[in-house]
Structure formats: C-alpha cells, structure tokens
Chains A and B, each alone.
Chain A
Amino acid sequence: METLNILNRLDYTLMIVAVGAALLGTVSGALGTYAVLRRQSLLGDAISHAALPGIAIAFLLTGSKAPLILVLGAAIAGWLGTLLIMSVVRLTRIKYDSALGIVLSTFFGFGLVLHTLIQRTGNANQAGLDTFLFGQAATILARDVWTIGILGGVAIIVTFVFWKELKLLVFDEGFAASLGFSTRALDILLTSLLVIAIVLGLQAVGAVLMSAMLVAPAVAARQWTNRLSVMMLLAGGFGALAGVSGTIVSSSAARIPTGPTIVLCATVVVGFSIVFAANHGLLWDRMRQQRNRRNLKVEMDGLFKQPQQGND
C-alpha cells in the first residue's frame, strides 16, 4: 500500500523535482570530492552562505527570477566571498578559519537583510526568494532543471578534461608548479567548479546546508574505494540518491524544507558507509581485529603448549 502511494505521487511535477535533485546531487557530490580531498570542506560552507546576498542583488537589479540570473548573482557573490577570504589571509595576520568565519557571517547577514527588505516591499514577484535559505525543492521547475543540467554538465566535462591537472594539483601542488602547470589558474578553475556546484543547489537545498551536499557524498564514497575516479563516481551516485530521496520525502508533506531532509538522507548514506564499507568500515575493522586475535591465540596456544608437553 505504502509503495503504491509513493508511486501515485510520482506525477509530472515530482518527476521534474526528482530529476533536478538527482542532477544537482550528482554534480555537487562529484565536485565535492575535490573539496574533501583538499580539506576545503568549510570553504563550501563559506561559498554557499556568501552567495545569498548575490541572489537578492540580482533580483533587485533585474526584477527577474529567471534561474540563470539568480544563479549568476549567487555565483558572483560566492566568488567575491572566496576572493575576500584569500585576500584577508594574504594581507593580514588573520588565520584562514577566522577569515572564513568573518566573511561567511558578514555576507550571510547582509543577504538576510536584503531578503527581508525585499519581502517588505510587497513586490508580488518576490514570492519564493526565501526558499534560498533552507531550500524548497518543490519550487523546481523545468527551466531550473535545464539550468542545473547544462551548467552542471559543463562543470563535469571540465573536470574530465583537466582530470590529470586537477589530480596533480590536489595531490602535490609544489610538484605541479615545478612542472610548469599554473597552479594559480588551476586553483581558480577548481574554486569556480565548486562555486558552480554550490549555486546550482541553493534553490533546492538552501544556503545554510548546501555544503553538506558537497561533503557528505564524498566522505561516504571515500569509505568504499581507494581510487579517485571510483570515488568521484560513487560520490556523484550518493549525491543523486540523497537528492532524490530527500526531495520525495519533503514533497510528501507540505512545508517540509527540502534542504534539511536531503542532508538527513545524505547523513544516512555516510553513516551506513562508515559502518559497513569493506576495507575501511568499522564493522570490517572489528571483524579483522577479531580474526587477528583468534589467529594470534591459536599461535600462542601452540607456542605455550610445546614446552609444557616437553615437561611432561
């Protein structure tokens, strides 16, 4: 009965929403692999929070809610935030984590102020802008899916084209530079890819929790594999899984924000992976320990028995 209910709900609107969530889950999961391996998980958080005022400004300037315009505004603001963090670290004595915290909260606060102002104006067109805070996947339309698909597709293709260079940058930046690859250009490229992955998910997941979509699938994927390519594929798959299941659950009842639901689904995937993954998982570790202990015990018994037998 329950399955039938869910199947019935798979109407056109929900299909669109699910496709959108799957696409953005794939893109953010795959690109999040680099963020996790570079230990830049928090940078994703900063970018997503910093993107919020960009959406408001883009709307104020154009009066339009076209996805491409809002995404562009978010991307520019996210980029400026990242640039500001790097400049603060380079030019002052403030450390990276503090700079990140300051920029993140300043941009986010500014974004909240702008969004409140927009709501006060009573502009009828503004309805729906507030979904960028916690995400509302139900607001995803066909045009949003196209935006996510095309921009996300470009990001994935770029990742594939510069596969070797990005891998080298993340593994050994100094060596990459000594070979003549411009690590600054690669750094900008990688950050841009992260910005794209983040702003594409803002509508569905929201600025507050978007970074989880970057980090969680990659962390889960790392538990299952020791290969970068497999890790990225798995992370994309896990991201899509979390995205789809989260949106379906949140669409099943009115006013459940999608962001938190998706993040909870992603957390389940992470938890499962940490416990059950072969070679890395806790369960596997425990089994291996017990097997080792058993083997050791057999050997020890053998060792101690021999002299005793000799004494008899």
Chain B
Amino acid sequence: MQVLETKAIEVTDLTVAYQDKPVLWDIDLDVPPGVLLSIVGPNGAGKTTLIKAILGLVRPAAGNVLIYDKPYEMQRRIVGYVPQRGTVDWDFPTNVLDVVMMGRYGALGWIRRPGRQEREQAMYALEKVGMEAYTTRQISQLSGGQQQRVFLARALVQDATVYLMDEPFQGVDATTERAIVTLLQELRANGKTVVVVHHDLQTVEDYFDWVMLLNIRRIASGPVAEIFTPENLRETYGGRVAFMKE
C-alpha cells in the first residue's frame, strides 16, 4: 500500500467521448498540492476537454475526479478557472472591472449583487496583473494580452487553492507572457496548485515543474526533469516533434 497523501487533483479512469469518438481515454492523473503543472500534447489531444471534465463542464463516459479528496461540486469555492480567451464575445457591452468582479459571483451565490468588498478585491487583482489603469476600459478595446490579464484577474478574485487555466499564453505579447509566468510562480510559492494547458514545448522546462503529456491517452506525467524526455515527446506527438532537445 502506498502512503495516503492528500492530492490536489486526482483523476481516475477518466474517459470522455463525443458521440462515439473517444476524446479522452482512461486517464489517470495525480497532482500533488503546490505544483505548477503544464498539460502538453498535439492539437485534438483532449487538453481542453480534460480541464472541462475536471470542472464538471463535460460529462465523462466513465471515471472519477476528486479535488482534495472530494467531488468538484463540493469544492467549487477552492477552484479557479481561466477559460480560453476566444470562447467569449469581447464586444459584450461591459468594462474591465465588471468582468473581474464576475470571479466573485460564485461566492456571492444567487441573486446577491457585488458591492464595495468585491470591487476592492477586483481592484487588488487588477493591480496584481498590472491592469489597474484600465478598470473602466471597455473590454472590446483591449489587446489580446490585456484580455488575458483580465481573465487572470477574474480567476485571482476567486481566491482559489487550485487553478485550472486553458491556454493563458495564447496570442499574448512577450511582456504579458513574462508577467503571467511571474504570477503563476507566485501562486505556487503561496502553496496553490496550478494546472495550465500549454502549447509551446520550448518553454515547458523554464516555466513549469510538473508536466503531463497527453494524446487522448496519458503518455506520462510527473516532474519535468523525469518526464519531459525525447522518447516521451515522440510517443506523444507520433514522431513528428517540431522540437529538438539538445
């Protein structure tokens, strides 16, 4: 028997299918508390689906997900979520502060409106991501990097213990990428667990301490130093690795 350690996220035998096509097949994943984990794999590997399955947004055909030993429904308050930036309409008539305050809606529950406290939390989060000068800015007037920072600020006000982020580096400028990495590392330093869907193999070793290689099945997962090997990458990408490790 292995020692029973608390896991931040524990995925067991997870299978998700759209109609009859499996998108995730028999996934097992243990994420210990306080790691910065990237999920890496080719397009169509099921990375976004895995995040959504952990959040209960897609119904699995089989399997189980636990957050700190309990089902997600019981742990919503300690989980923060950053969806892909492209999933929302940035022409929606609202401003930056309003979007960030949405991160408090879960804690507020039904009907109760955000007030001064939520406003202050949102302001603080916007300072954290360097967007305090943009509070009243209409969201359609933000650059891609700024949109991403707003989404991160919205997750920060959730004040979660576990964060799930879908492609936070997609289409952002180099400055924003640096700022996001610093923020992620700060979260980890505060004992948070952060899971990030990531595209860029070049930066995995610099940014993350854990990695999961995914291509419908889990190829491998664990500390980057052990798992991020040419053999595993070849297995994940089917030999067509656009990335050569020295």
A interface residues with partner B (beta carbon < 8 Å): 37, 161-165, 167-168, 170-172, 174-181, 222, 225-228, 231
Q: Using Cβ atoms and an 8 Å threshold, which residues of chain B touch A175?
A: 81, 83, 102, 154
Kindly supply a per-residue 1/0 record for chain B positions 43-74, scoring 1 wherever the CB is within 8 Å of any chain A CB and 0 otherwise. Answer: 00000000010011100000000000000010
Within 8 Å by CB of A174, from B87, B94, B102, lies B87
Asked if B188 is an interface residue, CB under 8 A from chain A, the answer is no
Is the Cβ of A227 less than 8 Å from the Cβ of B102? no
Q: Using Cβ atoms and an 8 Å threshold, which residues of chain A touch B154?
A: 175
Is the Cβ of A226 less than 8 Å from the Cβ of B114? no
Is the Cβ of A179 less than 8 Å from the Cβ of B93? no
A65 to B92, CA, bound (A): 41
Q: Using Cβ atoms and an 8 Å threshold, which residues of chain A touch B79?
A: 178
A177 to B110, CA, bound (A): 13
- At the interface, is chain A mostly helix, strand, loop or mixed? helix
A172 to B83, CA, bound (A): 9
Q: Using Cβ atoms and an 8 Å threshold, which residues of chain A touch B57?
A: 174, 177-178
With contacts A172-B87, A172-B88 known, is A226 near B76, CB below 8 A? no
- Known contacts A164-B111, A172-B87, A180-B106; 16 additional CB pairs below 8 A are A37-B92, A37-B93, A164-B108, A164-B113, A165-B110, A171-B89, A171-B92, A174-B83, A174-B87, A177-B55, A178-B55, A179-B105, A181-B105, A181-B106, A227-B93, A228-B92
Interface size for chain B: under 10, 10 to 19, 20 to 34, or 35 or more residues?
20 to 34
User: Can you name the residue of chain A whose Cβ is closest to the Cβ of B166?
Assistant: A174
Kindly supply a per-residue 1/0 record for chain B positions 85-104, scoring 1 wherever the CB is within 8 Å of any chain A CB and 0 otherwise. Answer: 00111001111000100100
Asked if B185 is an interface residue, CB under 8 A from chain A, the answer is no
Within 8 Å by CB of B102, from A168, A177, A180, A222, lies A168
A168 to B108, CA, bound (A): 13
User: Can you name the residue of chain B whose Cβ is closest to the Cβ of A174?
Assistant: B83
Is the Cβ of A171 less than 8 Å from the Cβ of B94? yes
A-B contact pairs, 10 of them (CB 8 A): A37-B93, A162-B111, A163-B113, A164-B108, A171-B88, A174-B81, A177-B55, A177-B56, A226-B138, A228-B93
Within 8 Å by CB of B93, from A162, A172, A222, lies A222
Q: Using Cβ atoms and an 8 Å threshold, which residues of chain B touch A168?
A: 102, 105
A179 to B78, CA, bound (A): 10
Kindly supply a per-residue 1/0 record for chain B positions 111-125, scoring 1 wherever the CB is within 8 Å of any chain A CB and 0 otherwise. Answer: 101100000000000
Give chain A nearest CB distance to B137 CB in angstroms: 10
Q: Using Cβ atoms and an 8 Å threshold, which residues of chain A touch B55?
A: 177-178
A226 to B140, CA, bound (A): 9
Is the Cβ of B94 less than 8 Å from the Cβ of A180? no
A171 to B93, CA, bound (A): 9
A181 to B56, CA, bound (A): 12
Q: Using Cβ atoms and an 8 Å threshold, which residues of chain B touch A227?
A: 93-95
Give chain A nearest CB distance to B70 CB in angstroms: 14
Is the Cβ of A164 less than 8 Å from the Cβ of B105? yes
The 8 A-B pairs with the shortest beta carbon distances in the complex, nearest first, are A179-B106, A178-B81, A226-B138, A172-B88, A178-B55, A180-B76, A228-B93, A171-B92
User: Can you name the residue of chain B whose Cβ is closest to the Cβ of A33?
Assistant: B93
Is the Cβ of A164 less than 8 Å from the Cβ of B93? no
Is the Cβ of B94 less than 8 Å from the Cβ of A228? yes
Give chain A nearest CB distance to B154 CB in angstroms: 8
Give chain B nearest CB distance to A185 CB in angstroms: 10
Q: Using Cβ atoms and an 8 Å threshold, which residues of chain B touch A162?
A: 110-111
User: Can you name the residue of chain A whose Cβ is closest to the Cβ of B110?
Assistant: A165
Is the Cβ of B106 less than 8 Å from the Cβ of A164? no
A170 to B73, CA, bound (A): 22
Q: Using Cβ atoms and an 8 Å threshold, which residues of chain A touch B102?
A: 168, 171-172, 175
With contacts A163-B113, A164-B105, A171-B88 known, is A226 near B95, CB below 8 A? yes
Q: Using Cβ atoms and an 8 Å threshold, which residues of chain B touch A37?
A: 89, 92-93
Q: Using Cβ atoms and an 8 Å threshold, which residues of chain A touch B94?
A: 167, 171, 226-228
A175 to B113, CA, bound (A): 17
Q: Using Cβ atoms and an 8 Å threshold, which residues of chain A touch B89?
A: 37, 171
A162 to B113, CA, bound (A): 9
Give chain A nearest CB distance to B43 CB in angstroms: 20
